[in-house]
A and B are shown apart, each in its own frame.
Chain A
Amino acid sequence: MMVELIAELLNRDGIDDWKILERKVEGEEFFFVKDSLDMNRAKRTRKFFVTIYHDFEREGKLYRGSSDFTIYPGMKREEIKSLIEDNIFSSKFVENLYYPVVNEKHTISRTVPLDPESLDRIIHDFPFKSKDVWVNSSEFFLNRVEERIVNSKGVDVSNAFYRLYVEMITTAKSKEEVELYWSFERSYPVVRMEIEEAIMATRERAKAIFTPEVKDIPVILSGESVGEFFKYPLYKTSGLYIYEHLSNVKKGERILNGDFTMWIDPHVEGSAYSLNYDEDGFLCKKVKVIEDSKVMNIWADVRYAYYLGIEPTGHLTNFVVESGKESESSFEDGKYLKVLSFSDFQMDPVTGDFGGEIRLGWYSDGRKKVAVTGGSISGNITKCDFALSAESQLTGNFKGPKSVRITGAQIGGKM
């Protein structure tokens, strides 16, 4: 057994603690152009991510140096020994304050993930064509991942999960062809309704006009950008950001103007990011981070929690924002700009600046709603107010409201 061999070589002078994360991936992949198979692929890989820790004292203070490296299958004993030697040497120059490794002993907990539908079945049922809209191209990836985390304190735990990733380009035609990009990541099959919504949205882009120049109206974010929007409070409440002086939020203080409640939750159903144990072998916990916009807890892995003197929650898995009380349709009263698809909506979690180019949205002047494309929205979350829809969604590792209505964002349209 490779893990046992590596562990044996790590139990030596110069190493005070160690951890090994073994990751095995078996994957199958299908690539399509329209409804025709372009290529199919498979893969089988195994890696061992190793961290060694080396403790030393300087001027009465205890430090912990470390070095991370990867061991590949097929590496010979001598090659591994030499790699370990190099990394022990490197770790002596890493002068970080001491922190412990996980020392909570769990019995080996082998989890067996639910088998997803086979990729054949998902592809068989996939709606490659619809009225006026077709799938230009699509890619399907289904990975079965098994992880085992072992450390020098006797931790020996495991995760096993499926990760299904589907990417598709949908196309529709009016005067000329238009397209939209979509991706879905789940631990089990993509909900068919989401695909149908994507197809309907493509029809709308085909008749979109350029986003007009408008000012001082609410902007409604819908879909994937909502999760990105909440990355600011997510990272501002992380132990890493606080330790690195990238955030100065404190427990009990209010964060941002809108009302919202946020959790870190390692067990969101359907999420491809749900896990029992993080990469340190720590049993991840569900924690309320923000309640009614007030910071309740800081989330942090074992190391940064130790530095900050707080309870660890584990590395980030999923984050959940509780949905609001108002329906999405109630956001659409009066004038507004609603955006469903951006080229690439981005939130800067350090500064709070956000924005993106609009690929598909709708503008309403209070009487008539038209599909729009082009132009941009931008702003800073600390200067905006926002409200959350009652409807919810799961995108990547975010579960939360399907829409957020923002006031205070700038719209860059065309006169």
Chain B
Amino acid sequence: MKVKLSEFLEEKIPILEEIIEKLSQKYRYVSILGSDVRGKRYLVTEDIKISDSNWNERGFVVRIYDGLYLEYSFDEIDDSIVDSLNEKVIKEFERFEGPVLECPLIEEEKEEGVFEGEVEILPETVDAGKKIKMLSSMRDHAYSISESLANFWAIYEEVNVSKVFLSGKKHLNQSYVWTQGYLQAIVRKDEKTKYSYEGYSGMKGAEILEEMVSGVDKVVKEAESLIDSTRIEPGEYDVICSPDVAGVIAHEAFGHGVEMDMFVKGRAKAVEYLGREVASKLVTMHDGARAAKQVASYFFDDEGVIGKDTIIIDKGILKGGISDLISSLRLGTKPTGNGRRESFERKAYSRMTNTFFEPGNDKLDDMISSIKHGYFLEKVSSGMEDPKNWGIQCWILYGREIKDGRLTDRIVSPILMTGYVPDLLKSISMVSEDLELSGVGACGKGHKEFVKVSSGGPYIKARARLG
């Protein structure tokens, strides 16, 4: 079923066009992004909670050019918008006495386009009662199969995105739906508490609820198995990373490292390595709103640039970065459709979308049997980048020990994987045929500016420092 543009935005387009016309008399570039993102989050645990999605927003951001780009975000359209822009932004800029980093003017081509996403079951066609009933039965089933379960979460979230981008030459609309589901089992034995999770996501509708049902047994058993886990002895090991761990490596290692606003600031070491070998020949890495169909897929970004599929690393060679519009103007490069905002209230930065390694030719069984002593790493909790000095940190939920080419019963948890990005990527020696992407998380820039992303890849064999 097709997802239609919000009526609210449809109705506001003529007023927004009037504002653009008025401002265009004085400024050489004017654009407005309008967002209407509506979603609901259903949580069933000890309690039940129905709330708005954290991704909800409704408002506008106007951008003008005055030697550099200035912006004003608002959610009430009235006659005061132009005056407020003058008072709060332009006058502040004029009062500023320090140096300014000037920027070239955006030269636009005429572009019009509409994108309507399609899902199997539109979320609003399934009532809240049915959603709560399905989540409650997942919770009840979890308690029926485990005596050590202390808590169980079943979460379903549906988000309906509508955006319009208007400027002198552009008129773009997009509307689509993404959903995600999350199961978490928390078990306790004596004083030890452990948990595991399963995530589900995609450019899908309410049909994702059916996918979640089959994950309950798995997540409960997995959490129970972690109760007897021990801590790993810190050191360097041969590892096999599951697709979600591989995805976070891609995201943290060379996703953040090639965000091109970092090139403008001189914060990216990647600039010195363009065209050079940064990873094993087995590594090809993509990012892009059009590189995959997942939660970070879209028609145009928050600066009105059409989304693309960018190859970041091609057979081990660093090819290029991902860019927002303003950074590309400063660098003299082409924007890649990666200018994203947390919401209309925030600045646009160069941000990742769907980031992943391409699959290879190896079989997972062969990869396991090739390891004398190491770990099979599964489930990522979080990751952090260091684009200037190429450090990487990933919290991984657990690792299963591999000895003499076989998985043993020993499980270590949690694991902190750290390392120097090129060392880690150059150590990749086997890549499986699989490709899985997951988008249940969010990505921050520093410690803020969260946007929805997905990441993934095949199983990869590498050498990593674990602690």
Q: Which of A33, A42, A245, A375 contacts B88 (CB 8 A)?
A: A42
Q: Chain A: how many interface residues by the 8 Å CB criterion?
A: 77
Interface residues of chain A: helix, strand, loop or mixed (majority): strand
Q: Are B50 and A94 in contact (CB under 8 A)?
A: yes
Q: Are A46 and B76 in contact (CB under 8 A)?
A: yes
A412 and B393 in contact, given A37-B100, A73-B76, A243-B46 (Cβ under 8 angstroms) = no
Q: Are A37 and B76 in contact (CB under 8 A)?
A: no
Question: Once bound together, how far apart are the Cα atoms of A350 and B151, in whole Å?
Answer: 11
Binds B, one of A8-16, A85-93, A277-285: A85-93
**Smallest beta-carbon distance A79→chain B, Å:** 8
Q: Which of A37, A42, A243 contacts B89 (CB 8 A)?
A: A42
A91 and B98 in contact, given A136-B266, A344-B393, A356-B393 (Cβ under 8 angstroms) = no
A36 and B100 in contact, given A72-B58, A91-B50, A244-B45 (Cβ under 8 angstroms) = yes
A67 partner residues in chain B, CB cutoff 8 A: 50-51, 128
Q: Which of A37, A93, A136, A181 contacts B101 (CB 8 A)?
A: A37
A378 and B416 in contact, given A37-B100, A44-B88 (Cβ under 8 angstroms) = yes
B427 on interface, CB distance cutoff 8 Å:
no
A39 on interface, CB distance cutoff 8 Å:
yes
A29 on interface, CB distance cutoff 8 Å:
yes
Q: Are B191 and A73 in contact (CB under 8 A)?
A: no
Q: Which of B75, B101, B194, B385 contacts A351 (CB 8 A)?
A: B194
A94 partner residues in chain B, CB cutoff 8 A: 48-50, 132
A392 on interface, CB distance cutoff 8 Å:
no
Q: What 1/0 mask marks residues of chain B from 251 to 293 whose CB sits below 8 Å from any chain A CB?
A: 0000000000000111100000000000000000000000000
Q: Are A120 and B99 in contact (CB under 8 A)?
A: no
Q: Are A43 and B345 in contact (CB under 8 A)?
A: yes
A70 on interface, CB distance cutoff 8 Å:
yes
A46 partner residues in chain B, CB cutoff 8 A: 75-76
Question: Once bound together, how far apart are the Cα atoms of A181 and B448, in whole Å?
Answer: 12
B265 partner residues in chain A, CB cutoff 8 A: 33, 136-137, 169
Q: Are B93 and A40 in contact (CB under 8 A)?
A: yes
B85 partner residues in chain A, CB cutoff 8 A: 42
A177 on interface, CB distance cutoff 8 Å:
yes
B332 on interface, CB distance cutoff 8 Å:
no
Q: What 1/0 mask marks residues of chain B from 417 to 433 whose CB sits below 8 Å from any chain A CB?
A: 01010000000000000
Q: What 1/0 mask marks residues of chain B from 324 to 350 whose CB sits below 8 Å from any chain A CB?
A: 001000000000000000000101000
Question: Please, which residue of chain B has its CB at the minimum distance from the CB of A38?
Answer: B101
Binds A, one of B64-72, B110-118, B166-174: B64-72
B73 partner residues in chain A, CB cutoff 8 A: 41-45
A95 on interface, CB distance cutoff 8 Å:
yes
Question: Please, which residue of chain B has its CB at the minimum distance from the CB of A348?
Answer: B414
A256 on interface, CB distance cutoff 8 Å:
no
A73 partner residues in chain B, CB cutoff 8 A: 75-76
A30 partner residues in chain B, CB cutoff 8 A: 96
A271 on interface, CB distance cutoff 8 Å:
no
Number of A-B contacts (CB under 8 A): 221
Q: Which of A39, A41, A68, A244 contacts B50 (CB 8 A)?
A: A68
Question: Please, which residue of chain A has its CB at the minimum distance from the CB of B383?
Answer: A344
A376 on interface, CB distance cutoff 8 Å:
yes
A364 on interface, CB distance cutoff 8 Å:
no
Residue of B74, B100, B384, B420 with most partner-chain A CB within 10 A: B384
A412 and B418 in contact, given A28-B92, A45-B75 (Cβ under 8 angstroms) = yes
Q: Are A74 and B418 in contact (CB under 8 A)?
A: no
B320 on interface, CB distance cutoff 8 Å:
no
Question: Once bound together, how far apart are the Cα atoms of A38 and B96, in whole Å?
Answer: 12
A276 on interface, CB distance cutoff 8 Å:
no
A246 on interface, CB distance cutoff 8 Å:
yes
**Smallest beta-carbon distance A3→chain B, Å:** 15
B448 partner residues in chain A, CB cutoff 8 A: 167
Question: Once bound together, how far apart are the Cα atoms of A169 and B220, in whole Å?
Answer: 42
Q: What 1/0 mask marks residues of chain B from 37 to 77 whose CB sits below 8 Å from any chain A CB?
A: 00000000111111110001011000000001111111111
Q: Are A40 and B267 in contact (CB under 8 A)?
A: no
**Smallest beta-carbon distance A70→chain B, Å:** 5
Question: Once bound together, how far apart are the Cα atoms of A348 and B415, in whole Å?
Answer: 13
B199 partner residues in chain A, CB cutoff 8 A: none
A96 partner residues in chain B, CB cutoff 8 A: 47-48
Q: Are B446 and A376 in contact (CB under 8 A)?
A: no
Q: Which of B56, B188, B267, B414 contacts A136 (CB 8 A)?
A: B267
Question: Please, which residue of chain B has its CB at the minimum distance from the CB of A215?
Answer: B234
Q: Tell me the residues in window 349-401 of chain B with beta carbons closer than 8 Å to chain A beta carbons.
A: 381-382, 384-386, 388-389, 391-393, 395
Q: What 1/0 mask marks residues of chain A from 385 to 415 whose CB sits below 8 Å from any chain B CB?
A: 0000000000000000000000000111100
Q: What 1/0 mask marks residues of chain A from 313 to 343 whose CB sits below 8 Å from any chain B CB?
A: 0000000000000000000000000000001
Q: Which of B89, B345, B466 contacts A412 (CB 8 A)?
A: B466
Q: Are A374 and B194 in contact (CB under 8 A)?
A: no
Q: Tell me the residues in window 339-373 of chain A with beta carbons closer than 8 Å to chain B beta carbons.
A: 343-344, 346, 348, 350-353, 355-357, 359, 373
Q: Are B99 and A42 in contact (CB under 8 A)?
A: no
Question: Once bound together, how far apart are the Cα atoms of A199 and B408, in whole Å?
Answer: 48
Please name the 4 residue pairs, one residue from A and one from B, whose CB atoms are nearest each other, closest first: A412-B467, A412-B234, A42-B88, A344-B384
A-B contact sample (13 more), CB < 8 A, given A41-B71, A136-B266: A40-B93, A42-B71, A43-B74, A43-B345, A45-B74, A67-B51, A93-B129, A93-B133, A94-B132, A137-B267, A245-B186, A246-B186, A412-B418
B→A interface (CB under 8 Å) = 45-52, 56, 58-59, 68-77, 84-85, 88-89, 92-93, 95-96, 98-101, 127-129, 132-133, 150-151, 186, 188, 191, 193-195, 231, 234-235, 264-267, 326, 345, 347, 381-382, 384-386, 388-389, 391-393, 395, 414, 416, 418, 420, 446-448, 465-467
A→B interface (CB under 8 Å) = 28-31, 33, 35-47, 66-70, 72-74, 87, 89-96, 120, 123, 136-137, 167, 169, 171, 177-179, 181, 183, 213, 243-246, 248, 343-344, 346, 348, 350-353, 355-357, 359, 373-378, 380, 382, 410-413
20 of the cross-chain contacts (CB-CB < 8 Å) are: A33-B265, A35-B99, A37-B68, A40-B92, A42-B72, A42-B73, A44-B74, A44-B88, A67-B128, A68-B50, A68-B51, A69-B51, A93-B48, A93-B132, A123-B98, A246-B150, A344-B384, A344-B393, A374-B418, A376-B234
